[in-house]
């Protein structure tokens, strides 16, 4: 089969490899679509998080079950999405049902082969069936949309009264966070790239180029992760407002603790997602057209190395790029 294999940082090759087989308790899945994520670009640039090279990246995956290994019960032909998390399963956090807090967590496409391939084998416990009729080009958003659903749940837990919400950064995660909030929320997305801003507006979102100090949000989602973005998010909050950390940062952030203290702000980390995949798929299936606008480019596996290099260099003002293997329908 054809797969995109990362041999080292900045060395992604599309090549023929032996197809995987479904071991006991595993499913062999024929990939219909896999999303290109900011973390894929980070891994491409640095080789970070990869435990063995070469590895097939891609952790936002949907496909159809082609075969079931011994003991696996999912019927061939079932469309599924993959849980991207590979937690240790035994630490106190894992046992308490918070695998996203596992100190030893790894991810699909980094510690095992992911979805930039025609086929992949995954544990049956790591798949979630897709609601009937939901197109693969929307179902492929389940993983990043679950990140947005988790952030929404965290907001509802810590600030259930929040109505005026800012989203800093209008990439795919920022867009999905904004789209996933209830319709009663007044959401404004800050995005400086004009091409992205147009796509966000076309998706029905309120867009601005910045959330100014004095914006007085009840909550601001940091989906940008640039140096200083946490302080910017806090400055855009009203006193008592909360900053939801959704994006990974590339280094430590500097904060004025007295601003935090005097404004009685809170900061809540939101790491990937917990068990929100089924509810996320239900949300996608309830309004697929709303979410379909996030997918703005479709490429084949052969184009992927060029697409990743271009995106890592800051090119392309789109939202989510998905890979549809040549021959997948
Ligand atoms: Zn991702
Ligand atoms: Zn664990």
59 alpha carbon to ligand 1 midpoint, in Å?
Answer: 6
93 alpha carbon to ligand 2 midpoint, in Å?
Answer: 6
Of 16-25, 69-78, 209-218, the least confident:
209-218
Express each pLDDT in 262-293 by its tens digit. 999 999 999 999 999 999 999 999 999 999 99
Q: Nearest ligand to the C-alpha of residue 148?
A: 1
Mean pLDDT of the chain: 96
Average confidence (pLDDT) over 42-61: 95
Q: Nearest ligand to the C-alpha of residue 322?
A: 1
Q: Nearest ligand to the C-alpha of residue 273?
A: 1
- % residues pLDDT > 90 (the chain): 95
- Band of residue 213 on the pLDDT scale cut at 50, 70, 90: confident
pLDDT computed for residue 329 by the predictor: 59
| CA dist., res. 234 & res. 223, Å (int) | 13
pLDDT computed for residue 54 by the predictor: 98
Q: Nearest ligand to the C-alpha of residue 106?
A: 2
Average confidence (pLDDT) over 299-325: 93
60 alpha carbon to ligand 1 midpoint, in Å?
Answer: 6
In angstroms, what CA-CA distances link 18 with 118, 119, 120, 150, 207?
A: 11, 10, 11, 36, 46
- In CATH terms, is domain 2-141+294-323 a member of 3.90.180.10? yes
272 alpha carbon to ligand 1 midpoint, in Å?
Answer: 8
| CA dist., res. 229 & res. 210, Å (int) | 11
pLDDT computed for residue 328 by the predictor: 77
| pTM: predicted TM-score of the whole model, two decimal places | 0.97
46 alpha carbon to ligand 2 midpoint, in Å?
Answer: 25
Q: Is the dihedral of CA 297, 302, 306, 308 positive or negative?
A: positive
12 alpha carbon to ligand 2 midpoint, in Å?
Answer: 30
256 alpha carbon to ligand 1 midpoint, in Å?
Answer: 30
141 alpha carbon to ligand 1 midpoint, in Å?
Answer: 9
| CA dist., res. 269 & res. 60, Å (int) | 21
39 alpha carbon to ligand 1 midpoint, in Å?
Answer: 6
- Band of residue 327 on the pLDDT scale cut at 50, 70, 90: confident
276 alpha carbon to ligand 1 midpoint, in Å?
Answer: 15
| Rg from Cα positions in the chain | 19
Average confidence (pLDDT) over 305-318: 89
- Band of residue 211 on the pLDDT scale cut at 50, 70, 90: very high
50 alpha carbon to ligand 1 midpoint, in Å?
Answer: 15
Q: Nearest ligand to the C-alpha of residue 103?
A: 2
275 alpha carbon to ligand 2 midpoint, in Å?
Answer: 15
Which fold would CATH assign to domain 145-269?
Answer: Rossmann fold (3.40.50)
173 alpha carbon to ligand 2 midpoint, in Å?
Answer: 25
Confidence check: pLDDT of 90 > 90 = yes
Range(s) within the chain of domains with CATH label 3.40.50.720: 145-269
Express each pLDDT in 95-110 by its tens digit. 999 999 999 999 999 9
Range(s) within the chain of domains with CATH label 3.90.180.10: 2-141+294-323
Which residue's structure tokens are 């990439």? Answer: 171
In angstroms, what CA-CA distances link 32 with 140, 164, 328?
A: 8, 37, 6
Average confidence (pLDDT) over 171-197: 97
């Amino acid at each position: 089969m054809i797969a995109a294999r990362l041999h080292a940082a900045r060395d992604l090759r599309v090549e023929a490899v032996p197809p995987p087989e479904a071991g006991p308790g595993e499913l062999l899945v024929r990939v219909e679509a896999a999303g290109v994520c900011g973390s894929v670009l980070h891994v491409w640039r640095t080789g970070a998080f990869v435990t063995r090279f070469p590895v097939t990246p891609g952790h936002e995956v949907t496909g159809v079950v082609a075969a079931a290994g011994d003991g696996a019960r999912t019927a061939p032909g079932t469309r599924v999405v993959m849980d991207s998390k590979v937690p240790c399963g035994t630490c106190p956090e894992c046992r308490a049902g918070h695998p996203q807090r596992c100190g030893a967590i790894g991810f699909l496409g980094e510690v095992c082969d992911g979805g930039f391939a025609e086929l992949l084998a995954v544990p049956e416990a790591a798949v979630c069936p897709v609601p009937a009729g939901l197109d693969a080009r929307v179902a492929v958003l389940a993983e990043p949309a679950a990140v947005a659903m988790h952030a929404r749940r965290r907001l509802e837990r810590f600030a259930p009264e929040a109505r005026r919400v800012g989203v800093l950064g209008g990439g795919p995660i920022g867009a999905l966070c904004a789209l996933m909030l209830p319709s009663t929320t007044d959401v404004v997305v800050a995005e400086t790239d004009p091409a992205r801003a147009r796509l966000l507006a076309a998706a029905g979102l309120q867009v601005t180029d910045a959330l100014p100090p004095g914006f007085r949000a009840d909550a601001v989602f940091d989906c940008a992760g640039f140096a200083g973005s946490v302080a910017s998010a806090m400055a855009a909050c009203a006193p008592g407002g909360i900053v939801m950390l959704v994006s990974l940062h590339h280094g430590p952030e500097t904060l004025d603790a007295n601003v935090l203290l005097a404004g009685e702000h809170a900061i809540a980390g939101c790491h990937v997602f917990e068990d929100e995949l089924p509810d996320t798929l239900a949300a996608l299936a309830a309004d697929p057209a709303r979410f379909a606008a996030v997918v703005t480019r479709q490429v084949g596996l052969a184009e992927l190395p060029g697409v990743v290099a271009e995106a890592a260099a800051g090119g392309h003002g789109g939202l989510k790029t998905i890979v549809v293997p040549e021959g997948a329908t």
